[in-house]
Amino acid sequence: MPGVIATTAICGLAAAWFFNVPVTMGLLIGAAIAPTDPAILIPLFERMGLQPKLRQTIVAESALNDPTGAVVALTLLGVVAGGESLDAEPILAFVREIGISLVIGVVAGVLLALVVSKSRWGLWRESAGIAVFAVVALTFFTVQQAGAESGYLGPFVAGLIVGNMDRLKLGMHSEHEREMRTLVQGLSDIMVIFVFVILGADLPWRVLGDYWMPALGVVLVLIFIARPIVIAMCLLPDRRGQWVRPELLFMMWTRETGVVPAALAGLVVSRGIEHADLVMVTVAMAIIVTLALQASTKGWLARRLGLTAGGEAVDGTAQTAAPVGAAT
């Protein structure tokens, strides 16, 4: 959450300056590109043998940032659409949304874990895939009916609990778990393709021609200013993580933008607010630049820093860097 808020603030102020729009509109643009989406690179991480510590951290960051970023963006969308100033009311609305989503998500997650488990409560253990989507849909609409603008965080929390149901002393039959994961993965892939198709169809080409330079400026701030600050702010205090400089550098360069910002851009455009096209243009530019620039160089950088399987650097020597902040 701190990383999403910091990215929103830094990129939002940059967007307000580059596009010459009100600060609230700039913050909405910043919030739309704040969620990280490196999870789309999981196959690449596996092929290049990236160290498990980095792979798990990157995927966990993406999972946590996506719903938080959606809540921040939709809260700011309400501010912009309502013509409100950024005072205590939107902040209270954000806190209220987080609280509602967490409570409903926890309840739904525990319920779902019970009904798909192999315990005596596992009424849907043989139809786990259907149970997942039924509970996720119910959670999404329940969160919204409870007064929250975004229904994303609740289902995410529920899924997080089900994914760690062993902590609740619950388990699934391996066959049922495999069927559930296959169904969820397949439908997830379809939804990702669908969102990107919609983004491409709705892309305002005229505005893209007029504003590609300011949008590129915002994206460069995202990559070279906001991301390093967020990584330093979140990982340097983590002494237990024993982060070393090559790992921090790789984390700073892992900042792909993907499906969640694209979906958020579509929601902003659907509200018909002024300058909505600027959000779409900036998100499109962020997707193009981060995937083309960062994803294409990630394997080379990991090998150069000695972060692939075996921990060997480019010269063949073992990676022995000391943790950042350790005495030398």
**How does DSSP classify residue 224?**
I
Sign of CA pseudo-dihedral 51, 52, 53, 58: positive
pLDDT at 316: 42
pLDDT of residue 231: 93
In this predicted structure, what is the pLDDT of residue 65?
A: 80
Residue 148 CA to residue 320 CA, distance in Å, equals 48
CA 170 from chain centre, in angstroms, equals 28
Neighbour-count burial for 196-233, b at 16+ CB within 10 Å, e otherwise: eeebeeebbeebeeebeebbbbbbbbbbeebbbebbee
The H helix count followed by the E strand count for the chain is 14, 0
Contacts of 70 (CB under 8 A, 6+ apart): 35, 150, 152, 153, 260, 263, 264
pLDDT at position 320 is 44
Task: Read off the DSSP letter of residue 2.
Answer: H
Query: pLDDT by residue (tens digit) across 26-59?
Result: 999 999 999 887 656 676 777 778 888 888 888 7
Cα end-to-end distance, the chain, whole Å: 33
Residue 221 sits at the vertex; the CA angle it makes with 219 and 192, to the nearest 5 degrees, is: 35
**What was the pLDDT predicted at 317?**
42
The pLDDT value given to residue 296: 83
Closest CA to 280 of 294, 267, 295, 289: 267
pTM over 0.75: no
Q: Which residues of the chain have pLDDT under 70?
A: 38-41, 43, 83-91, 93-94, 124, 144, 147-153, 172-173, 176, 185, 188-189, 191-206, 310-328
273, amino acid identity: I
